[in-house]
Amino acid sequence: MADRSNEPVVVIGLARFGSALALELTERGVDVLAIDSNPRTVQDLSGRLAHVVTADATDIEALRQLGVPDFSRAVVAIGTNMEASILTTSLLAELEVADIWAKAVSRRHGRILERIGARHVVYPEYDMGERVAHLVSGHMQDYVELDEAHAIAKVGPPGELVGVPLGEAGMPARYGVDVIAVKPAEGGFEPAGPGTVLAPGDAILVLGRISRVERFADAV
């Protein structure tokens, strides 16, 4: 597949999620056309985004005039206004924008977006809620689900793993997780290997099935 990482992106809907996304893409050197129907929102962002315009994205003529059909990537960051989200997504599909990302506020909303042409659907509120639940309930310092079955957690090492080379600790057999990186109290992350010996103040990244990662963190 061609490297699309620097192709321009249309971002539609500039509330908290959409504005953060547009600003981050800009910071990463990606050209962004940012669209919102609220002039006040556009005004607020005009100093920080190079191309930010007021338009109603449910109006196909407005999208054409802005050159949206020339883009191969778009993000629909309208959430709560489900009708606008669905209409906008279907218009982008009609204009043959190849790579459509859309934010959904519910699973049902997400299924509709997929059916009408969104290639990727994201659920920021659900995902963040699940993530924070792991941080609140356990000993995790960070937690990321990679797919339905797998996750990476940042945790302190369980006492029994301190001072023993990882290769001798038998982590995969005992816990069903792999230690993939270690961060000493002072310093950055380094890849972990069989010879890595953990110290009490270290943070480690463990990768494995979600249930195993959860169980491992509970043992910390």
Question: Under the rule (CB under 6 A), what is the footprint of ligand ATP?
Answer: 12-18, 35-38, 41, 56-58, 78-81, 84, 125
CB closer to ligand ATP, 109 vs 154: 109
In angstroms, give the least distance from the CB of 113 to ligand ATP. 13
CB closer to ligand ATP, 76 vs 169: 76
CB closer to ligand ATP, 85 vs 196: 85
CB closer to ligand ATP, 68 vs 182: 68
What tokens were used for 215? 């169980």
In angstroms, give the least distance from the CB of 219 to ligand ATP. 31
In angstroms, give the least distance from the CB of 177 to ligand ATP. 30
Sheet bearing 99-103, strands edge to edge = 51-54, 32-36, 9-12, 73-76, 99-103, 120-122
In angstroms, give the least distance from the CB of 105 to ligand ATP. 6
Query: How far apart are the C-alpha atoms of 102 and 158, rounded to whole Å?
Result: 40
113 and 121 in contact (C-beta within 8 Å)? Answer: yes
Task: Name the 3-class secondary structure at 118.
Answer: coil
Q: Which helix (H) or strand (E) holds 155?
A: strand 150-155
Residue number of the CB closest to ligand ATP reads: 79
Nearest to 55 by CA among 39, 71, 74, 79: 39
